Chain A
Amino acid sequence: MFTALAEALMAEAIGQGQNDFKIPLARRAIVRALEQAAGIASAISTAPESRP
């Protein structure tokens, strides 16, 4: 659902070549922010590190 929302919000975004990366970046940021707000993803990772 969050992904669909992000797609909708960014649907009219147009890149200018060098800044094209900002469009998927913005989509991901929206999804991540919504996940954090919904408690699905933590703002700062607290998971134990998987160092060997």
Chain B
Amino acid sequence: MNDFLAGAGRATVDGTAVTAQALDLPKLGAPVLRVDALAKVTGRARYIAEHSAPDMAYGVVVSSTITRGRIRQIESTAALAVPGVLAVMTHENRPAMRAMRIFHKDMDAPGGKPFRPLYDDRIYYSGQPLALVIAETFEQARYAARLVDVSYAAEPHETCLMARLHDAHAPKGFKVGFAPPPKQRGDADAAFEAAAYRIDAQYHAGVEHHNPMEMHATVTLIGEDGHLTVYDKTQSAENSALLIRHALGLSTDEVTVRNPFIGGAFGSGLRPQYQTLMCVMGAQLLKRSLQVMLTRQQMFSFGHRPETWQRVKLAADADGLLTALVHEAIAETSRTEDYVEVAVNWSGQLYACENVRFDYRLVDLDQYTPLEMRAPGAAHGVHAIEVAMDELSYALGMDPLALRLKNYAERDANSDKPFSSKELRACYAQGAARFGWDKRPSQPRSMRDGHEQVGWGMATGTWDAMQAYANVRAVLHADGSLVLSSATTDIGTGTYTAMSLIGAAALGLPLEAVSFVLGDSTLPTAPLEGGSWTVASVGSAVDAVCEKLKKSLLKLAQAMDKSPFEDAALADVVFHAGQLIYRDRTGDDHSIGLGALMQAAGRAQIEEKHLLLPNLFRQRKYTRATHSAVFVEVKVDEGFGTVRVTRVVSAVAAGRIISAKTAHSQIVGSVVWGIGQALHEDTRADHALGRFMNHNLSEYHIPVNADIDEIDVIFVDEDDRVVSRLGAKGVGEIGVVGVAAAVCNAIFHATGKRVRSLPMTLDRVMAASPPG
């Protein structure tokens, strides 16, 4: 050792030197606690509506009570007379807004003409915002909003998908992430007619609405220089900033959007919702800070998972080999935009079949444009194919799992490409073993527990493994702290934790020494937080920028006088416990503390940025997907039609798991959502009024603790370096796909009744006819 190595063997963390042995250094895949847990449980994590200013005013939205037509008049006199009321903003007195629809397109907008809140007197759907009542207090605004009297010129409307199936049309526009149905292969209809074993069934799923705990809200703070700082419930601060700038004609310097903590969204925040522009316009109108928070009822007045009708035709030979596969879907959209999602393609990707035909069409309704919700498209499409496969298994007298294995797709026949990785067989095997599938009696109605019939069902799940661009800045300080930043979002899924963990593991730092800053439109760019791609995208950028930091540190070390690191390559050195460690050719170990190294180099900090761009040339050669096998036990009281999900095993292959605890939580949460999709969630419309009726959590049912029993999550070993440099594919959506189908299949096994509509409420279970 020489003087150069002062600090060797010691790591400095928060200014305190600690030995490597004392440090609990995290590794990728470790089940670390959420780094933001303390902030959340102590209330220091401030959600959108918790941001305020001394001059804050409050806005309450007035919603349309008709579904289609025009506003004749908005009478605001009574509302304005309420003490504390400052303004009633309508299409007639709002600040200037750009007219061209192109300026209202956000990053997630589908094809068509986006909705412009308070633009004119046109009414497109029930619940459309018509006015914003602004007052000194929320209570004053809420009271006054009830006094706003709107008169209408109503027009006939159509809101019922099932009554309009005959009007379905091919999507006129496309959107990011959408792939049209694959081309027909072979002659599926002829093969179907010729087959000995076949099923032809229709499936229906009703509307579901996002109901995150935190309702959508926007807070606009006006700085002394007029700068707008907008706290917005969004899954991308950059997306909201883009819409605000474009729609209102503002420059980049005039608006900053922040969303440091989001209380759930799972699709509802992919597009800035109407309260965003209304809040900014209201603040502009009054030239003071403003908060607009939607009510729970108004959470049912924008995007939703679209009602979808599907038909699946399957045929097989006596051995269970699929000879025909037809999957058709018709979903609802609005009059103005063609919301599209991948619903039918999954069938051709999951199962090998030479004769396939797919179709996906839309029906225009007087509704707000639907919106992505957890596993959009797959949650419906995979439900239909997986229930159909179960139906076929009974027609064949074949075990449902054996039928899936018989038709296992080694390649993606849709694209004729190999999978970048696919451990679905391992999901089946490990899930089945954990569940005890081999003990399942093949006949329905074989198991009973008191009043309840017991059934076991299973289904396959799949979701895209995607990667997008992402830019991350990293600043390593001489005290050993690492600050990473990117304009991504944490909607509660664990972004803070996963990114901190990746940074800590890359540089061999304790987790406590790493902080991740997100939720600010001025930070380095990141994609929308959705689609289960954040770890593969932003996480890979974190890993890459840390590699740049390591190179910079090694260069510093090599530039030192009499440096023992002179001949070291990056691959030869290890960053561990705040030290740079190198074993030279003679076997001697050399190390230096990073803090000591930076001090010696006269550097208070080292900063690097990395823009990660997916390697499309490599990725395009493969189909990249996550997979799962879901096994479910239900108990059905046939007297009442009630269904209890008493056991779930979800075996997931999602590449390398980076943050085990938050990944596990994502899957558990998604399974719960899948149970909700299967049994509870259903927004019912009165089509005479064209209005959703159960727009509250009292009548829109979601699973509660009493509905949830044992959920066992297995992460199957998988490592995919095509999808990401980390080997991660991404978790989240994959957890919900297949759950509803597995529940449906278990209900059939319990009762012999096939319920083909979601949710499988007690009336539908009671009404379903047993076979034969």
Contact = CB atoms under 8 A, between A and B. Distances in A.
Interface stretch (B149-157, B379-387, B449-457): B449-457
Nearest to A49: B449
26 contacts: A21-B763, A22-B763, A24-B766, A25-B640, A25-B641, A25-B763, A28-B639, A28-B640, A32-B451, A32-B639, A32-B640, A45-B449, A45-B450, A45-B451, A46-B450, A47-B450, A48-B449, A49-B447, A49-B454, A50-B448, A51-B436, A51-B439, A51-B447, A51-B454, A52-B439, A52-B446
Contact of B767 (A21, A22, A32, A45): A21
A52 B450 contact: no
Give the top 8 A-B pairs by smallest Cβ distance, nearest first.
Answer: A45-B450, A21-B763, A47-B450, A52-B439, A28-B639, A49-B449, A50-B447, A50-B448
Contacts of B454: 49-51
B689 to A, nearest CB: 16
B762 interface: yes
A47 B450 CA distance: 5
Nearest to B436: A51
Contacts of B763: 21-22, 25
A52 B440 contact: yes
B640 A29 contact: yes
Interface in B258-300: none
Interface string A8-52: 000000000000011011001100100000000110011111111
Interface in B227-272: none
Contacts of A49: 447, 449, 454
Contacts of A48: 449
B749 to A, nearest CB: 12
A32 B450 CA distance: 13
Nearest to A51: B447
B770 interface: no
Contacts of B436: 51
Contacts of B447: 49-52
Contacts of B397: none
A51 B448 CA distance: 8
B582 to A, nearest CB: 59
Nearest to B633: A51
Contacts of A47: 449-450
Nearest to A48: B449
Contacts of B762: 21, 25
A42 B639 contact: no
Contacts, number: 44
Interface string B441-473: 100001111111010000000000000000000
B765 to A, nearest CB: 10
A23 to B, nearest CB: 11
A10 to B, nearest CB: 15
Contacts of B440: 52
A11 to B, nearest CB: 20
B450 A42 contact: yes
A21 B451 CA distance: 19
Question: Interface range on chain B: under 10, 10 to 19, 20 to 34, or 35 or more?
Answer: 10 to 19
Interface of B: 436, 439-441, 446-452, 454, 639-641, 762-763, 766-767
A47 B641 CA distance: 20
Contact of B766 (A21, A41, A46): A21
Nearest to A27: B639
A47 B384 CA distance: 35
Contacts of B446: 52
Nearest to A32: B639
Contacts of A45: 449-452
A24 B765 CA distance: 13
B724 to A, nearest CB: 41
A42 B451 CA distance: 9
A29 B446 CA distance: 25
Nearest to B639: A28
A51 B749 CA distance: 13
Given A25-B762, A25-B766, A50 B449 contact: yes
A49 B455 CA distance: 12
Contacts of B452: 45
A41 B449 contact: no
Contacts of A28: 639-640
Contacts of B448: 50
A4 B447 CA distance: 30
A48 B763 CA distance: 28
A30 B440 CA distance: 34
Contacts of A51: 436, 439, 447, 454
Contacts of A50: 447-449, 454
Nearest to A18: B763
Nearest to B766: A21
A38 to B, nearest CB: 15
B451 A41 contact: yes
A39 B641 CA distance: 22
Contacts of A41: 451
A48 B641 CA distance: 21
A50 B635 CA distance: 11
A35 B473 CA distance: 68
B767 to A, nearest CB: 7
A6 to B, nearest CB: 12
A49 B644 CA distance: 14
Nearest to A45: B450
A36 B767 CA distance: 25
Nearest to B642: A25
Nearest to B764: A21
Q: Of residues A41, A42, A49, which shows the largest number of chain B Cβ atoms within 10 Å of its Cβ?
A: A49
B441 to A, nearest CB: 6
Given A28-B639, A46-B450, A51-B454, 7 more contacts: A21-B641, A22-B763, A47-B449, A50-B447, A50-B454, A51-B436, A51-B447
Contacts of B640: 25, 28-29, 32
B141 to A, nearest CB: 38
Contacts of B639: 28, 32
Contacts of A46: 450
Contacts of B449: 45, 47-50
A52 B441 CA distance: 7
Contacts of A32: 451, 639-640
B634 to A, nearest CB: 13
Contacts of B767: 21
A52 to B, nearest CB: 4
Contacts of B439: 51-52
A29 B449 CA distance: 19
A2 to B, nearest CB: 13
A29 to B, nearest CB: 7
A22 B766 CA distance: 10
Q: Of residues A22, A42, A48, A52, which shows the largest number of chain B Cβ atoms within 10 Å of its Cβ?
A: A52
A49 B447 CA distance: 8
A18 to B, nearest CB: 8
A41 B454 CA distance: 18
Contacts of A22: 763
A22 B641 CA distance: 11
A12 to B, nearest CB: 21
B661 to A, nearest CB: 31
Nearest to A46: B450
A25 B436 CA distance: 34
B686 to A, nearest CB: 11
A24 B448 CA distance: 22
A15 to B, nearest CB: 11
A24 to B, nearest CB: 8
